[in-house]
Structure 1
Amino acid sequence: MCVNIMLESVDDVNAVPLQSRLHPERRLAENRVPERSSGGHYEWSNDIGLPTEHACGGIAVGHRAAEESGHQRGAEKGLEEAVLGHDHWEDLLNALGKRREANYRDMIKEETDAPDSLLDRLVAEATGAAATPPADASRPAPQDQLDLSRDEWNALTAGRLPEPTREFAVRRGGLGLDGEQAEPWAALGAHIGGVVLADRLREVRALTGFRRYSPNGTLVPADTSRRRRWLPAVEVFGEGILLTLDEERLTEWENDDRVRAHVLGVRDDLDASFRKDQLAAAYGISLTPRYVLLHTVAHLLIRQLAFDSGYTTASLRERVYGRPEHGQYGLLIYTAAGDAEGTLGGLVRQGEAPHFAETLVRMLEAAAWCSADPLCAEHTGQGFDNLNRAACHACTLLPETSCETGNTLLDRALVVGSARVPGYFTDVLHASRESAAATATDATGAQE
């Protein structure tokens, strides 16, 4: 049904009946526009459009707009070809996230007049993600970013441990060596600060992104649209053992000139590695002997626990607390499962006295030699980017899911010692060997 409105022009508002002028929303709500009827009048119909005269004008404008849009697309296409064919385009892609990225962007923009929006879009198409902002001094350093290890360390080593809950329950343990005079137990007790048993741990693992083609490629965020306020994650429950070293003895050892010179070589290799910024989230402001020692002990302990407890090395994980600026001097070995009940307590049982002291001594004895020695023990740089010293698959390395730094920054020499550097546990290892030799001598004498 159409309502006739006596109009000679749609602009003649005064000719519109009073009801139509007072209630224009009725026409708009019904998506009605006037059309010329056979009698020369205009009618409101349910089709969206304009009167014939206006529609023709709109089409003409549309042609002009399409023509202008075509010119714009052609110009933009030319800019794209100029950018993609620029001598420094590949250099820009290889420098994403690094300080020299800004230099390559400026050169391309200056020579092609391409706007930042076009560069960002082309970089996103080439990498599968939005271009990383150029690195500059205003960006926070990796060590200034969110660091969860400080709160974890404080919770695990607090003078008064928190009350147990369904998600977190810890208690103090020990080696059971108080007052022990026999070796190697007395020496071991002097090097260990304490043991904390975590009967209940909760861990949330979130996927923030991934890299394609190469480890130093652009990070592709998990949310490529950058519109979500959540990340894919998994919640797991488990148990663990926190081992701390004697802080005073540790500080004295890491201030030894031979130890500092030894780790300085690793630091030089780290400075030349593209993984430096990634690894800084683990070791802190600067790589220290403390971190390399604790990290290596964590690997050796996981390997030994795999023999003693029945856990596979891939099911155990490490968390190294080795930042001097936070007063950290320990490591956490834990396991976790997706089941709400967590694990069955076997790992915590291995951390109780006297089992754990025996495990530590066996760990040191096993670490004293490698089937690849003397090549492994005397190595001055092996593994990824030469970031390891005396550490190989035969003695120290773990499945990469167990290690927080991808099997780098490891050195057995800092644990058991070598001809060039004293190890933190060298005294314990010597005491163990002397005790074993004395026991063997006594047994031989008894047989005679």
Structure 2
Amino acid sequence: MTTDATRFVYDAVNAVDPLGDLEKEAEKATKHNRAKVGSGRPSSLLYTYGPGSIMDLPQFTIMPTGLDDWDRIWRRRDSLPPQIHAPRLRDVVRKLLRSRDVQLRPHPWQPKKISLSTEGNDLGVPARVFPQWLRCTGCDMLGLISQFDYRNTHPFRTDLASFEHAKCTGRAGNRTRKAARRPAVPARYLLACVDGHLDEFPYELWVHRGQPCGVASNPALKMVDRTAGKGASAVIHCAACDMRRPMNEAQGEAGKDKLPRCRGRHPHLDGFEPRGCKNTTRLMLVGASNLWFPATQSIIVMPESQQEQASDLADRIRTTLGDKLAKYRNNLDMIRDLLEDRVDVSELADHELEDAVAAATAPPATPEEQEEEMRTWDPVELLVPEWRYLLKDFLGTRAEDERSGLTLAKRERDPALQPEIKRVLAVERLRKVNALFGFTRIDDMDRVGDLPRRLAPLTRDPRPAWTVATEDRGEGIFLQLDEDSVASWEERIELTDLWKAHREAHRRNFRRRFSETAAAVNPDTRLKPPRYWLVHTFAHVLIRELAITCGYSAASLSERLYAWPAADGRDPAAGLLICTTASDSDGTLGGLVQLSDPIRLQRVVANALEKANRCSSDPTCSMRTPQDPEDFLHGAACHCCVMASETSCERANRFLDRRFLLDLPGSNVGYFSRG
């Protein structure tokens, strides 16, 4: 069915409701099909296994559903769902989702005071089994999930949950006289399109080449696979008419013409696009790395300015009062009564409350204005307030803000520290908030040219009321480079043959590896400036050296880069924050902050730059320059010297070159080798 509130063909009768299903089973006095089938950390549920992705469990795979189904979990509680306070990030997410009322909420989870406690059992992420075609490991039978038995009766062993073929007799030539129970595994082939749709592979139509079986209306299928690990190596066999067809025919460019058109399905929303989808489909494996790319944004929460506080107050008044705001906007006493115990306005004078109400009742942006904001928005805008605050000269040696959770401490520069490093701050405490606002398939978010169309939604409602976010706490070290020296160095770099080679390689990479929808985008607008390469490479060598002595692993350290030239309304930046964050105390042990001590930091920086002089892959690494037809986006950098794990790097090890740091043999462009 379809309604005005949704934009998908959706059948609400068969909605995903694990806890509701559990209650129905309890009414029947049965003891199986327990609701929880696994667990995951909030960070993995945001970056790897969010709504629309496929999560591997020990015996089968599941797909977390859209946020509409999460609402059923929250509604089981009398209290309102918790919110994560990060107005700056929330406003950006609202802009990206085109929804004025989006709030940031954590994952539905509650810690247990004791291991066997039942508190929090009503909270969890709803999911559906996907794909729903399974293959018996004993006889190769290929069938829908309804043809297999589900077993999950142990309350504390969710890893034992599995689907089984109850009457498996084994394969031909090795049949058993007595049928036995054999486990079933997911059939690993899917169909995906560039607009984020995903669908089951039509095995029955595939083996019969688009026609129904001529012998049986519901033929028995088998998936024969004897050479696992070699791509689409399986063969689909119809036991009724004996037709066979290998899956490798669906691979590559030649296979595209043999696959059906996309049906516009979003399995995480349990719906279809009402007007279908005209895209061609691509064969996709369940565990493919390009099956799901999260679209996320994150901020380091900074103390709010007066303007930000006023904007946040107006927003809280608007979302709290709803329709009553327009009715009582001229009655301040009634407004105060309605906001009592919900939004604290007791200390506001009447004229201040009147200004807040006026801001709360201001008309929203028009659709045309929203589109223009989306078109011109730059993710760097999230970093600019952080950079400006980190440059502030606060009174005393320490600045602490309880509301934001940020604590900074000044650090003196050691006389032997490289003069190019102008400012050092110990970030003793910080709070990082990360929000998910959609996802893409086949192409990563930063490799498409029309993100609004390619972004797969998280809800059936075109104007979502909330999105999921995580809140991490940690510590870090902030380093600011001297802007004058960076600017003069950057001018010199832009005239070198090395930079020209990197620019040409990026153009080739853009043409070959970016989405077809990015054809109208100028490749040079996606190329990071030389100062970004400098700061990025410097951050990586520091992460390697810090990990040796700070007590955290290199994968636990991450970078936050502030590197952009001057632009309209934006001062230039050249600095970096190396931090470690976690949802628990692991991010606040203090080992990283201790290394901001002047003597220790000087030793860390000196050792990092000294080690960057050499690589076990030299001279091949130190002289690596992309030449036509090469299109890699790094120079003198490899996993032996500079590259870091994907949890540490914000650019997937792109835009790195040791020659921008130091004068390596054959080059004289190193920033830290000047003079």
**TM-score interval for Structure 1 and Structure 2 normalised by the shorter chain:** 0.5 to 0.7
1:295 pairs with one of 536, 541, 552? 536
AA in 2 matched with 1:310? G
Q: For structure 2, which runs of at least 5 residues remain unmatched after alignment?
A: 1-192, 197-271, 283-290, 293-370
Match of 2:386 among 152, 156, 159: 152
TM-score by length of 2: 0.40
For residues 357-368 of structure 1, the aligned pairs below 5 Å read 357-368=602-613
CA contact (8 A) 2:194 2:442 kept: no
Tell me by how many angstroms 1:138 deviates.
6.5
Aligned partners of 1:257, 1:315: CA distance in 2, in Å? 32
Q: Deviations over 1:251-287 (max 9, x none)?
A: 2222225765422322232233347799x9xx98863
Correspondence for 1:424: 671
1:272 partnered with 2:508:
yes
How far apart, CA to CA, are the structure 2 residues paired with 1:422 and 1:413?
A: 6
Name the SS for the 2:381 alignment partner.
coil
Matched, 1:402 2:648: yes
Per the alignment, residue 481 of structure 2 pairs with 245
SS in 2 for 1:256: helix
Counterpart-to-counterpart distance in 2, 1:123 and 1:236: 41
The number of residues matched between the two structures is 297
Larger helix percent: 1
Q: Which runs of 5 or more residues in structure 1 are unaligned? A: 1-92, 97-116, 130-136, 178-184, 429-448
**Greater fraction of residues in strand:** 2
**Greater Rg over alpha carbons, structure:** 1
Spell out, residue by residue over 1:352-384, the C-alpha distance to the aligned partner (whole angstroms, 9 max, x if none). 1110000000001100011111111111139x9
State which of 296, 319, 330 in structure 1 corresponds to 2:560: 319
For residues 57-76 of structure 1, what are the structure 2 equivalents within 5 Å?
none
Q: Which moved more, 1:322-331 or 1:248-257?
A: 248-257
In 2, Cα distance between equivalents of 1:401 and 1:257: 29
* Counterpart check, 1:171 vs 2:409: yes
2:276 to 98, 107, 121: 121
Q: Give the AA of the match of 1:190.
A: P
CA distance in 2: counterparts of 1:329 and 1:236, whole angstroms = 25
Tell me whether 385-394 or 159-168 shows the greater mean CA deviation. Answer: 159-168
Whether 2:432 is the aligned partner of 1:203: answer yes
SS in 1 for 2:423: strand
Q: Secondary structure in 2 aligned to 1:207?
A: strand
Between 290-299 and 419-428, report the one with greater CA deviation: 419-428
Q: 2:509 is paired with a residue of what secondary structure?
A: coil
SS at match of 2:588: coil
Q: Which amino acid aligns with 1:355?
A: R
Q: Which amino acid aligns with 1:238?
A: G
Report the equivalent of 1:74: none
User: What residue identity is the alignment partner of 1:306?
Assistant: A
Question: What is the root-mean-square deviation in Å for CA atoms of aligned residues?
Answer: 3.6
Map of 1:69 onto structure 2: none
Q: Distance in 2 between matches of 1:233 and 1:288?
A: 31
Cα distance in 1 between the residues matched to 2:611 and 2:543: 12
- Partner letter of residue 383 of structure 2? S
The normalised TM-score by structure 1 is 0.58
**One-letter amino acid of the structure 2 residue matched with residue 268 of structure 1:** E
**Paired position in structure 2 for 1:232:** 468
Q: 2:639 is matched with which residue?
A: 393
Deviation at 1:118, TM superposition (A): 8.3
Distance, in Å, in 1 between the alignment partners of 2:533 and 2:377 is 17
Match of 2:351 in 1: none
For the residue of structure 1 that corresponds to 2:414, the secondary structure is coil
Pick one of 472, 491, 512 that aligns with 1:255: 491
Change in Cα spacing, 1:138 to 1:356, as seen in structure 2 (3 Å) is same
d(CA) in 2 for partners of 1:264, 1:389:
12
